[in-house]
DNA sequence: GCCGTTTTCGGCCCGACTGTTTTCAGTCG
């Protein structure tokens, strides 16, 4: 069945082919933008097609809607086949070489018959590229360097890798350059996307040249890719690209707005300015006729001048935020300080690093009002999952802790295996003894979509199951989600009142932003869980909160924003067996 | 190819860096 993801991939391929073919940017840009909107659209294209509603997806017009309908009906898209046949298959790969765009690729193809990366490398080594107009020896050596780097380079980095590195760079630059007036992380990191193409940092300074000079000699710099008067790009030893942009302090608002993006968000914002006879760039919002600066020092002033509410960075993807900001309906998004307790963690009773007491101490130190201890269950034998007998021993230990009357109430929880055959790892009479049951999948990932969906839906229909843990099993940048119909899972969860977590570990972030948004729209309650296995892991909360913000979640959508009493009454809620 | 608070046709965001160029095209942010 044609998924939105699959259809989006086709239009991205068409966009690449058209770009290489020499089509105008507005045409291949239209396919690329349509692909992005289709991928993000909550309703499946199959549903939309059946109801002739495809064109309600932004950037999907008559032509693209017809192509989607054709693909759903026949499993083929004639236009894709045609453009594929018009472009040598290896040519599109050249788009991934930094420094190569449509014009140069066409020149290489027409003039010296290049049709692949291998062709290009050979021509570069033979010095046959320098003869082309607009290219010289420097172009050749740069391209050879880039091709070399291409092999080793990871395409996108998990946020859990990029965020700490970015924070180190910010500190290092502040320390090494006293004229840094303001500094912030921008780009996809400020928007908290789950993967990061590069690190973008914005600085305000009266002496940009000095800041850039200090930047390109920081200890983490392996290569300097570009170095001008207002910006520079470097490659770190850990293979991350960092772009630094420096502006005057008075321009900081316009600059961080620009550098935070997304590109699509910027383009829409600038088009809005344009329509009023203004122009927006990274320096200011300006009246075109007079050159009068309307706003530049803060993001808020620029949004307000355009009759928009300030938009949180996490929402700046041109996926509906402009409509909210224009009507004053930007939600009050969940914040880390709204979180009252933790509902998913492990101790050394299974695969956690801390004892129960040390885990409790950490929770108390962090001011949590409650903490659910959710060690693994017996079938996860590798990590000494709890048998019913050991669970009862742990309950006694927890009772003892609670009798001390500390500030953090400890709940008896479990992360319960959903076994490959769909049954649960404990019988109901054992489950009854827990305060909180998270049901998760850690085995049998390769089942087909229908089996997997039934397996999860079956688990959440058990009245003792309170939460579904990391429901898609994905590992950011490492493992795709298993096959599962999340729409069906979320509908069932909404029906039974079962919660579905956002696992905050940056290697998981599962649910992701899009699933969490769909869950909230259905009224599903969402805990944001660190799944801590050690003391530091409680810090991972910020990644989960950011994912919730990207999903547009308000505090009331999130289970662990509730106070202890409210949480306890939720746990005691009447549940309806299926 | 998409779209409409001037338009159903004519625009579609705006600027920095590099290399090759003698005035700027191409690429990228
Ligand atoms: N106005 C405008 N701004 C752009 C354009 N391309 C990029 N930007 C801005 C918005 C981006 O968020 C910001 C940083 O660019 P990046 O290429 O690093 O993109 P971003 O960080 O959003 O995503 P990434 O994870 O790095 O792929 O620069 C553009 O074509 N026009
Ligand atoms: Mg970036
Ligand atoms: Mg960048
Ligand atoms: Zn788990």
The secondary structure of A489-514 as a DSSP string is HHHHHHHHT-EE-EE--TTT-BS-HH
Write the secondary structure of A104-116 as one string of H (helix), E (strand) and C (coil).
Answer: HHHHHHHHHCCCC
Nearest protein Cα to ligand 1, atom 10? A261
For residue A239 the two structure tokens come to 């293979």
Give me ligand 3 centre to Cα A243, in Å.
5
Regarding an ipTM greater than 0.90, the answer is yes
- Give me the mean pLDDT over the A423-427 stretch: 98
* Shortest-distance ligand to the CA of residue A156: 1
1.10.10.10, 3.20.20.140, 3.30.460.10, 3.30.70.20: CATH of A157-247: 3.30.460.10
Q: Which of A80-84, A255-259, A573-577 has the lowest mean pLDDT?
A: A573-577
A31 in contact with nucleic chain B (CB within 7 A): yes
A262 in contact with nucleic chain B (CB within 7 A): no
Reduced DSSP (H G I as helix, E B as strand, rest coil) percent helix, strand, coil of chain A, to 5: 50, 15, 40
Give me ligand 2 centre to Cα A215, in Å.
17
Does the CA dihedral A32-A34-A36-A39 come out positive or negative?
negative
Domain ranges of chain A: 4-86, 89-152, 157-247, 254-327, 336-571
CA angle (A546, A200, A477) in 5-degree steps? 55
Q: What is the pLDDT of residues A10-38, one digit of tens each?
A: 999 999 999 999 999 999 999 999 999 99
- In this structure, whether the domain defined by A4-86 belongs to CATH 3.30.420.40 is answered with no
Estimate in Å the CA A228 to C1' B28 gap, whole number: 14
A6 DSSP β-pair partners? none
- Give me the mean pLDDT over the A217-235 stretch: 97
Nearest protein Cα to ligand 1, atom 6? A263
Q: Which nucleotides of B are covered by protein (CB under 7 A)?
A: 1-3, 5-6, 11-21, 25-29
CA angle (A546, A549, A550) in 5-degree steps? 90
- Give me the mean pLDDT over the A491-516 stretch: 98
A22 in contact with nucleic chain B (CB within 7 A): no
**pLDDT for residue A506 is more than 80:** yes
For residue A509 the two structure tokens come to 């972030």
Estimate in Å the CA A407 to C1' B24 gap, whole number: 68
Q: Topology of domain A336-571, per CATH?
A: TIM Barrel (3.20.20)
For residue A517 the two structure tokens come to 């948004």
- Protein residue at shortest CA distance from C1' of B17: A228
- Give me the mean pLDDT over the A494-510 stretch: 98
Most distant CA pair in chain A, distance: 82
1.10.150.120, 3.40.50.1820, 1.10.150.20, 3.40.50.280: CATH of A89-152: 1.10.150.20
Q: What is the pLDDT of residues A65-82, one digit of tens each?
A: 999 999 999 999 999 999
CA distances in angstroms from A408 to A366, A371, A411, A556, A571, listed in the order given: 10, 7, 9, 22, 17
A185 DSSP β-pair partners? A201
* pLDDT computed for residue A98 by the predictor: 95
Distance CA A233, CA A520 (A): 39
- Give me the mean pLDDT over the A389-408 stretch: 98
> Which nucleotide's C1' sits nearest to the alpha carbon of A18?
B1
Q: What is the pLDDT of residues A185-215, one digit of tens each?
A: 999 999 999 999 999 999 999 999 999 999 9
Collapse the DSSP code of A236 into the 3-class scheme (helix H, G, I; strand E, B; otherwise coil) and give the result. strand
The secondary structure of A182-231 as a DSSP string is EEEEEHHHHTT-SEESSEEEEEE-S-HHHHHHHHTTSTTEEEEEEE-SSE
For the segment 33-62 of chain A, residues whose CB is within 7 A of strand B: 34, 55, 58-62
Give me ligand 2 centre to Cα A16, in Å.
20
Collapse the DSSP code of A302 into the 3-class scheme (helix H, G, I; strand E, B; otherwise coil) and give the result. helix
The secondary structure of A538-551 as a DSSP string is GGGHHHHHHHHHHT
Nearest protein Cα to ligand 1, atom 5? A263
Distance CA A158, CA A363 (A): 27
The residue whose two tokens read 């018959």 is A113
Q: Would A89-152 and A254-327 be classified into the same CATH topology?
A: no
* pLDDT computed for residue A151 by the predictor: 82
A144 in contact with nucleic chain B (CB within 7 A): no
In sequence order, what are the residues at sequence separation of 6 or more whose Cβ sits closer than 8 angstroms to the Cβ of residue A572? none
* pLDDT computed for residue A576 by the predictor: 63
**For a pLDDT cut of 90, what percent of chain A falls above it?**
98
- Give me the mean pLDDT over the A543-556 stretch: 98
Distance CA A285, CA A263 (A): 17
* pLDDT computed for residue A153 by the predictor: 77
Q: What is the pLDDT of residues A132-157, one digit of tens each?
A: 999 999 999 999 999 999 887 778 99
A417 DSSP β-pair partners? A440
For the segment 232-251 of chain A, residues whose CB is within 7 A of strand B: 232-233, 241, 243
Reported CATH class of domain A254-327 = alpha beta
For the segment 87-126 of chain A, residues whose CB is within 7 A of strand B: 97-105
- Give me the mean pLDDT over the A483-494 stretch: 97
Confidence (pTM): 0.96
Closest CA to A108 of A71, A139, A152: A139
- Give me the mean pLDDT over the A479-493 stretch: 97
A229 in contact with nucleic chain B (CB within 7 A): yes
Q: Which protein residues touch ligand 1 with a CB less than 6 Å away?
A: A 187-188, 193, 196-198, 200, 243, 258-263, 266
Estimate in Å the CA A126 to C1' B3 gap, whole number: 48
Between A155 and A570, whose confidence is greater? A570
* pLDDT computed for residue A157 by the predictor: 96
> Which nucleotide's C1' sits nearest to the alpha carbon of A200?
B29
Q: Are A510 and A324 in contact (CB under 8 A)?
A: no
* pLDDT computed for residue A73 by the predictor: 97
Give me ligand 1 centre to Cα A262, in Å.
6
Ligand 3 (ion): residues with CB under 5 Å are A 198, 200, 243
* pLDDT computed for residue A577 by the predictor: 56
């Amino acid at each position: 069945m044609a998924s939105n993801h699959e259809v989006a991939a086709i239009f991205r391929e068409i966009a690449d082919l058209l770009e290489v073919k020499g089509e105008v940017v507005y045409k291949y840009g239209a396919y690329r933008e349509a692909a992005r909107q289709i991928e993000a659209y909550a309703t499946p294209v199959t549903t939309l097609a059946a109801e002739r509603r495809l064109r309600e997806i932004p950037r999907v017009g008559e032509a693209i809607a017809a192509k989607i309908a054709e693909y759903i009906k026949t499993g083929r898209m004639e236009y894709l086949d045609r453009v594929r046949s018009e472009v040598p298959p290896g040519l599109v790969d050249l788009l991934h070489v930094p420094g190569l765009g449509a014009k140069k690729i066409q020149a290489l193809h027409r003039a010296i018959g290049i049709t692949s990366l291998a062709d290009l490398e050979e021509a570069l080594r033979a010095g046959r590229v320098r003869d082309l107009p607009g290219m010289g020896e420097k172009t050749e050596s740069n391209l050879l360097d880039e091709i070399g780097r291409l092999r080793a380079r990871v395409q996108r980095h998990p946020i859990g890798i990029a965020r700490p590195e970015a924070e180190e760079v910010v500190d290092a630059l502040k320390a090494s350059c006293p004229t840094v007036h303001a500094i912030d992380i921008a780009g996809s990191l400020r928007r908290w996307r789950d993967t990061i193409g590069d690190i973008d940092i914005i600085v305000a300074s009266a002496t940009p040249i000095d800041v850039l000079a200090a930047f390109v000699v920081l200890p983490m710099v392996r290569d300097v890719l570009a170095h001008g008067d207002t910006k520079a790009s470097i490659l770190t030893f850990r293979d991350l690209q960092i772009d630094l942009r420096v502006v005057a302090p008075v321009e900081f608002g316009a600059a961080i707005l620009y550098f935070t993006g997304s590109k699509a968000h910027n383009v829409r914002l600038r088009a809005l300015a344009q329509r009023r006879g203004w122009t927006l760039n990274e320096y200011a919002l300006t009246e075109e006729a007079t050159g009068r600066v309307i706003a530049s020092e803060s993001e808020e002033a620029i949004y307000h001048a355009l009759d928009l509410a300030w938009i949180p960075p996490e929402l700046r993807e041109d996926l509906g935020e402009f409509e909210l900001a224009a009507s004053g309906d930007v939600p009050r998004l969940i914040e880390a300080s709204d979180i009252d307790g933790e509902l998913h963690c492990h101790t050394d009773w299974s695969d956690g690093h801390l004892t129960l007491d040390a885990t409790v101490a950490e929770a108390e130190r962090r001011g949590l009002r409650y903490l659910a201890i959710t060690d693994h269950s017996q079938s996860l034998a590798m990590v000494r999952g709890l048998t019913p007998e050991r669970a009862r021993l742990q309950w006694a230990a927890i009772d003892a802790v609670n009798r001390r009357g500390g500030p953090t109430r400890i709940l008896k929880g479990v992360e319960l295996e959903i076994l490959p055959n769909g049954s649960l790892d404990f019988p109901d009479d054992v489950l009854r003894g827990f305060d909180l049951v998270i049901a998760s999948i850690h085995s049998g990932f390769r089942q087909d979509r229908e089996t997997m969906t039934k397996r999860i839906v079956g688990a959440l229909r058990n009245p003792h199951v309170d939460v579904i843990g990391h429901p898609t099993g994905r590992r950011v940048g490492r493992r795709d989600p298993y096959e599962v119909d999340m729409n069906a899972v979320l509908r069932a969860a909404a029906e039974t009142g079962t919660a579905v977590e956002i696992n905050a570990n940056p290697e998981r972030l599962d649910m992701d932003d899009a699933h969490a948004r769909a869950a909230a729209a259905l009224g599903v309650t969402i805990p944001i869980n660190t799944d801590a296995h050690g003391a530091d892991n409680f810090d991972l909360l910020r990644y989960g909160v950011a994912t919730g913000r990207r999903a547009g979640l308000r505090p009331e959508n999130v289970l662990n924003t509730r106070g202890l009493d409210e949480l306890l009454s939720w746990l005691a809620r009447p549940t309806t067996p299926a």
